Amino acid sequence: MSGSMTTAPERCRWLTTLVLACLLAGCGTKEVIVQSEFPDPVMNRLPLTLGIWYDDAFANHEFFDEASGRAESSWLVNTGQAQVELWQTLLKGMFENVVFMNSKPGPGQMNPVVDAVLLPAVDELQYAIPAHTNVKVYEIWMRYRFHLVTTGGDPIAEWTMPAYGKTPTAFMQSDEGAVRLAAIVALRDAGAHFATTFTRVPQVEAWLNSLPHTGQQQAAP
């Protein structure tokens, strides 16, 4: 008999190890890169030149949730590219001119002349996953924080805004696809919410009324 032959118990242990390895590999990190095209808003544009500054945390925004056990998967949800595309499209439809700033507003910075600069940030992102069902309906909650400042960095207004997205159908091909669609719905909700509430933020409204070229003019959906 050849010395390379294995006994039945050894084969059983080998198969068990192989099956466990496959199971663990299947429960690794699930990565979702959110990409979408967003429609231009239909509204009256404010007669302003708005600057926009995305810091690295926003432009490369991602959310990581580590699995709590071997039977679960970790999640990495990247919304950075979609965030930038959403806000670029939205703001160009809300303001007469939108300028991407060369640097973060602050004293001595060489930036274009604008009426104000918007600095968006994602304060929080949470999601709900149907871990024990086959119905792939996912939910995502986001909370934004906005700072509106002068080119010198002086504060004009600061406020928060929620956004919510839910997978509109359970008939998805994968968990990742369901999460991606829920994130897109949340981003569109954020855009709609921002467009309809921007001029109603008390500090923003007071600032708009103080500008000679805007007065009581406000963007309307």
Task: Give helix 80-94 / helix 175-197 axis angle, nearest 10°.
Answer: 30
Query: Which stretch, 15-24, 58-67, 70-79, 125-134, has highest mean pLDDT?
Result: 58-67
Rounded to an integer, the average pLDDT of 12-41 is 56
pLDDT score, position 193: 95
Task: Select from 165, 153, 147, 139 the least CA-distant residue to 201.
Answer: 147
Q: Is the pLDDT of residue 13 over 70?
A: no
Q: Please give the domain boundaries of the chain with CATH numbers for all domains.
A: 29-210 (3.30.160.150)
pTM value?
0.76
For residue 100, which of 148, 56, 50, 159 has the smallest C-alpha distance? 50
DSSP string, 110-148: -----SEEEEEEEEEEEEE--TTSS----EEEEEEEEEE
* Residue-wise pLDDT tens digits, 203-213: 999 999 998 86
2-6, 22-26, 101-105, 133-137: range with highest mean pLDDT: 101-105
- The pLDDT-based confidence of 17 (bands split at 50, 70, 90) is very low
pLDDT higher than 50, residue 60: yes
Q: Are 139 and 128 in contact (CB under 8 A)?
A: yes
* Residue 61: band (very low, low, confident or very high) from pLDDT cuts 50, 70, 90: confident
pLDDT in tens, 139-173: 889 999 999 999 899 999 999 999 999 887 766 66
Q: What's the mean per-residue pLDDT of the chain? A: 79
